[in-house]
Amino acid sequence: MKAYDYQGKGLLQDTPTGFLERIKKEKQKEASLAIDQMSITTAAHKLIQLARIKYFEEHKVDDPKCKKFDPMKVFDIDLSQVSLEQDLGGKVVPMFNANNLTLSASSIDTYMTCPLQFKFNRMRIPGQNKTYFDLGTSVHDTIQKISEEKIEGKMPSKKEAEKILDNKWIFRTFESGQQESSMKDTAKEMIEKYVEMEKENNNEIVGIEEEFAIKRKNVIINGRIDRIEKNQDGEFELFDYKTGKTMIKPEDMISDVQINVYAAAIKEIKKFGKLPVKATLMYLRKEPVSTTISEMNVNGMMKVVDNTIDDILAGKFEATPSSSTCRNCSYKNMCEFAE
């Protein structure tokens, strides 16, 4: 793969990190495809290429030409860990147990939408690229930086915010410069809107990208909450930024897994210690939508989460196709149940 494959189209402005990410992504896809097709030798080649990329990332300062990279180390593994006797003997080995399963609010949501989609995800079966992942990450990272500056008392202007976006802009999945350029315009509009909304906001920011890990049924659910604020009454409010086009109906927010898991997590984080009173989904292409949080509702939804964990551990992965769920699924082109 050559740099001009990416850079020769004129519009894509690649950075060394972005370029490396794109090569990595391509090699990961090729490795997965080779494994799917049982082309073991090709898969081994791709794994060595990926190991070399990893080596380069770790040693680009002390060994930029990867002279000390040893491909044989890739296969320097403990063979006792690769025994297949139990599997080949026909004993059913559960795909997950409480020790090897870690969930996020969005993976629970995926399972509730379609258990088969969750399984494909966990098996790391490559689906179609979704350009909005790069858009979403770039916008989230930009907002994080703007929020950090606001906490320091230096709320950036629209122009300064645009510069931050330039620095945070990443692309791994855009297929052309034209697509990238159109996504960048969309991102700029979202950041402008965010800066405008932020001017009116007098709440105190008390958490940005707040990490959490809570245990349910011995399974860890972890994640990051985009933002937590303390309002004028000393109560907490949680915020999640949305860069997609699809909006949740306000009446469905009460049963939204992410909102309820995040609310439960805020209560468990020592420095907060209580439920937030309000959750807002900040749709940056449209208008924010909010809901109040109640203890009864959070408890009820966490019971639903517990039941979902039981189903995952029991290996229930039946497809639940429908035109609306399959339309947004990365696996729709390969799934035999797709509608």
Residues that bind ligand SF4 (CB under 6 A): 114, 116-117, 120, 319, 321, 325-326, 329, 331-332, 335, 337-338
- The Cβ of residue 174 has, within 10 Å, a number of other Cβ atoms equal to 21
Q: With respect to ligand SF4, which residue has the nearer C-beta, 174 or 331?
A: 331
Cα separation, 257 vs 103, whole angstroms? 12
Q: With respect to ligand SF4, which residue has the nearer C-beta, 17 or 322?
A: 322
Q: With respect to ligand SF4, which residue has the nearer C-beta, 74 or 112?
A: 112
What's the closest the beta carbon of residue 76 comes to ligand SF4, in angstroms?
Answer: 37
How do 278-283 and 236-242 pair as beta strands? parallel
Cα separation, 106 vs 251, whole angstroms? 19
Q: With respect to ligand SF4, which residue has the nearer C-beta, 117 or 291?
A: 117
Q: Is there a contact between 330 and 125 (Cβ–Cβ < 8 Å)?
A: no
Q: With respect to ligand SF4, which residue has the nearer C-beta, 120 or 262?
A: 120
What's the closest the beta carbon of residue 339 comes to ligand SF4, in angstroms?
Answer: 6
What's the closest the beta carbon of residue 96 comes to ligand SF4, in angstroms?
Answer: 18
Which runs of consecutive H residues, i.e. helices, occur in the chain? 3-7, 16-36, 40-59, 85-88, 105-113, 115-122, 131-151, 158-168, 177-199, 257-268, 295-313, 323-327
Chain centroid, CA 16 distance in Å? 23
Sign of dihedral through CA atoms 122, 128, 129, 133? Answer: negative
What's the closest the beta carbon of residue 4 comes to ligand SF4, in angstroms?
Answer: 36
Q: Is there a contact between 275 and 58 (Cβ–Cβ < 8 Å)?
A: no
What's the closest the beta carbon of residue 257 comes to ligand SF4, in angstroms?
Answer: 16
What's the closest the beta carbon of residue 331 comes to ligand SF4, in angstroms?
Answer: 5
- In this structure, what is the dihedral angle of CA atoms 27, 32, 33, 36, given to the nearest 10 degrees? 160
Q: With respect to ligand SF4, which residue has the nearer C-beta, 132 or 337?
A: 337
What's the closest the beta carbon of residue 334 comes to ligand SF4, in angstroms?
Answer: 8
Q: With respect to ligand SF4, which residue has the nearer C-beta, 186 or 325?
A: 325
